[in-house]
Amino acid sequence: MCGDRPLVSRFLAGFILLPCIAFAAINTWLAAQRDGISHSVSHRTVLSTFRVGREPNLTYDLSIAPCSAAECSFQVRLLAGTEVVTTLDLDWAKARGPVTKDTVDESSGVGDPLQAPTQIVAWSTGEEKTNVSTVARLVRLTPGLNGLLVDQRAGYDVLKRRHDLVVALGRKLVHAWTDAEGNGPTWSTVVIEDSNSDGSQRIIAFDGFRYPSNDQPDRLHYTGYHWNPKTNLIESLPDGPPPLYAVLGGTYKTLSEARAAQAQSSCLGTFWVLKSDGFFKLAQGMFVLTDVSTERPLAMKKLSEIKSCALQYSISVVESVYHPSE
């Protein structure tokens, strides 16, 4: 209504316009607060803000950079108070169109393979094939230093995921670690785990490849990383990744038997067909139908879920280090 009002005179225009502008600005601000998104005067869309560490004044934010083009960069900024210290663009996928809140699901690449976290907000931009869903998470690398883990899922017909860890070292932002999916039926997810009594955390990165033909087993890798404060680098865990919990839907002598069992079951379709050799606690030279988790309760929950529809299968949960041969 404000915008439709005719201007009678300069005085009157000012008299009417100023409240209108103020009203519009307040409305925009209120809408942004409702959405959990803050818009600055530069039209930057700030998605998430996190503390860098002990210094309360220093923060990360994940934002969509202002741009006039159709595609805008996702950007991590390091802020000291309101001052922008430095920025780092994440250009794997670009933002298109407005941002909306999205739910995190099993395709997001966020959290345990068996359960996506429900409390975390994802930010979605673009439609269908240009859709990008972005999640920012804080990782306590050391008691005094947090990193910002950005998980992105892009696509519609085909989904691809990428994970970037950005760390503030002094007044610089460092791209400390990245993991992106390549060609084919790939999948990945990243788990943040408490690792030490000092409160620091590690990240466990899973990635897999589901072979679409029956002549190959699937591929599943997982790697644990921690922050080394001496080198200021993200490094593989010196003792290898922690054991995981494998929900087993049977052990099979041949790949074709395992694939056949997978095809016949209504609830094992999402399970991986892997060589048993990678699991130290299983008989070697076999093939297993399995789904994995970093948490025993989640594995047990999955086991109870599949019990009713996998009666003919020998199902169990095994805690084992998993290290597939190359």
Partner 1 sequence: MPDITDGVGDGGTNKVHDVAIVQAMLTVVKNAKGNPYLTDYDGKSGPSTIHAITAFQTDQGLIPKPPPPAPHHGAHHAGHPAAPPPPPPAAPAAAGEKPGLVAKGSTTLAKMVGALPADFAPMRIIENTRTVYFPGTDADENASSNAINTTGDLEPAFRSKVVQLVDLMFSTHKIVLSVTATGGHRTFQQQSDTIKKGTSTKAGPGESNHNFGRAVDIGFNGFQWLKGDGAKATDDWWLNKLTKDGKDKVGIARAAELWKARDVIAVNGTPGLFNSILSGDDIHLQSFDDNLPNDRALVDLLNRVGSLKWEAEHKKPRRYNCDLGFGGKMFNVGTSVEIWDLKPTVTKKMIAEAKTDVLIRAAADKGAAAVKAVVHVKESTITDAEVVALRKALKDDFIAAETNWLNWRSVP
**Site residues (CB under 8 A) for partner 1?**
92-93, 100, 102, 105-107, 124, 127-131, 154-160, 162, 180-187, 207, 209-210, 212-213, 216, 219, 221, 269-270
CB of 60 to partner 1, least distance (A): 24
CA distance 309 to 267: 6
Q: Which is nearer to partner 1, 129 or 307 (CB)?
A: 129
Q: Which is nearer to partner 1, 219 or 275 (CB)?
A: 219
Q: Which is nearer to partner 1, 137 or 153 (CB)?
A: 153
CA distance 107 to 16: 50
CB of 145 to partner 1, least distance (A): 26
- For residues 192 and 149, the answer to whether their CB atoms sit within 8 Å is yes
Tokens of 150: 């950005």
Q: Which is nearer to partner 1, 16 or 237 (CB)?
A: 237
CA distance 165 to 172: 14
Residues 6+ apart with CB under 8 A from 166: 60, 76, 88, 147, 148, 149, 150, 173, 174, 175, 176
* 3-state helix/strand/coil string of 74-98: EEEEEEECCEEEEEEEEEEEEECCC
Give the CA angle between residues 192, 177, 221 to the nearest 5°. 65
Q: Which is nearer to partner 1, 132 or 317 (CB)?
A: 132
